[in-house]
Amino acid sequence: MIALLIRDLRLAMRAGGGFGLGLAFFLIVTVLVPFGVGPESATLARIAPGILWVGALLACLLSLDRIFQLDYEDGTLDLLATAPLPMEGAVAVKALAHWLVTGLPLTLSAPVFATLLNLPGTGHIWVFVTLLIGTPALSMIGAFGAALTVGLKRGGLLMSLLVLPLYIPTLIFGAEAATRGTEGMANATPLALMAGITAGSIALLPFAAAAAIRVNLR
């Protein structure tokens, strides 16, 4: 499993699919928002948690089609299906690699980008915390969507249509928890719900994704 994780991380860095692309897109979204809604500090601070969450979600979406597609094209996925490592474990490792390359850099950079939206200091902390809890669910759900569409020509659009509705609960609870924390309100409930979604995704979706891959490889 460690060898597979290292391989996926190296491929992601060499191909440029994830780290630089996701951060660049995240930065572009953050920079463009003040031009669209105006430079008022109060307005930007109020919508900043939601904007940062939407930007991170869309940035994660950019590289989802690379999770399994390259392995499918070069035959590696067929080898993984017959390897001693269970397909569920391979799916979990690939989702982890996607999070390390995409989700974690977005989480670490979010407090820096939040300064462009005049977010208060406490908001930086809560945006970081909520993204740290929620982005693993984005990668795991994305891996499930990629498994459903692997092998399909031009399946990226279909995968986006499948994955985006599944992202909505994480987006709602993540943005709400960050907003409440920034305003000094109690946010334990949305945090707990988002953590539950992440835990449930990690526990259940590797099995669903593995089943989808086996069907697509037949």
Residue with tokens 């699919």: 17
Tokens read off for 128: 């970081």
**DSSP code of residue 17:** -
C-alpha pair distances (Å), 197 with each of 77, 144, 151, 187 = 28, 14, 28, 16
Return d(Cα 75, Cα 66) in angstroms, integer.
Answer: 14
C-alpha pair distances (Å), 4 with each of 73, 170, 194 = 17, 28, 28
pLDDT in tens, 7-59: 777 877 775 555 678 888 999 999 998 888 888 888 888 999 999 999 999 99
Cβ burial of 36 (10 Å; 0-12, 13-18, 19+) is exposed
**DSSP code of residue 218:** -
**DSSP code of residue 1:** -
Return d(Cα 106, Cα 116) in angstroms, integer.
Answer: 15
The reported pLDDT for the residue numbered 17 is 53
Q: Which has more pLDDT, 192 or 159?
A: 192
Q: Is the CB of residue 158 less than 8 Å from the CB of residue 96?
A: no
The reported pLDDT for the residue numbered 8 is 77
Cβ burial of 75 (10 Å; 0-12, 13-18, 19+) is exposed
Mean pLDDT of the chain: 88
Average the pLDDT over 93-98 and give the result: 92
The reported pLDDT for the residue numbered 93 is 92
Return d(Cα 61, Cα 23) in angstroms, integer.
Answer: 12
138: pLDDT confidence band, cut at 50, 70 and 90? very high
pLDDT in tens, 110-122: 999 999 898 988 9
Average the pLDDT over 131-146 and give the result: 94
Average the pLDDT over 49-78 and give the result: 86
Return d(Cα 111, Cα 189) in angstroms, integer.
Answer: 23
Look up the pTM and report it: 0.90
The reported pLDDT for the residue numbered 218 is 77
